[in-house]
Amino acid sequence: MDVLEALRNRVSVARLSEPAPSAEQREQLFAAALRAPDHAQLSPWRFLTVEGAARERLGDLFAQLARLSFLCG
C-alpha cells in the first residue's frame, strides 16, 4: 500500500483495543511521526509509552479527573 492510499483509507476508532503495536511497530511509527509535517517547526523530543498495569492506573486517573472536572465544572 502506498502512502497516499494509506492516508485516503485511514479510519479513526473511538476506542482502542488489544493488541497494542509491538515495540518494532512503535519504533516505525515514532520514526514516521518525527518526519510528519510540522508548520510550527516543532518536533517531539520524546515519546512515552504506557503499558500493562501502568496503563490501567493511568486510565483510572483519567476517569477520576473526568469525574472531578464534572463535579467542579
**What is the per-residue pLDDT across 18-31, written as a single tens digit (0 to 9) for each?**
888 999 999 999 98
* Amino acid (1-letter code) at residue 24: E
Q: Is 45 helix (H, G, I), strand (E, B) or coil?
A: coil
Average pLDDT of the residues in 33-61: 84
Q: Which candidate, 14, 48, 53, 44, places its Cα nearest to that of 61? A: 53
> Is the bond preceding residue 19 a cis peptide, omega within 30 degrees?
yes
| CB 46, CB 26: distance < 8 Å | no
**What is the per-residue pLDDT across 59-73, written as a single tens digit (0 to 9) for each?**
999 999 999 988 886
Name the pLDDT band for 45 (thresholds 50, 70, 90): confident
Q: Note if the pTM is more than 0.75.
A: no
Average pLDDT of the residues in 25-47: 82
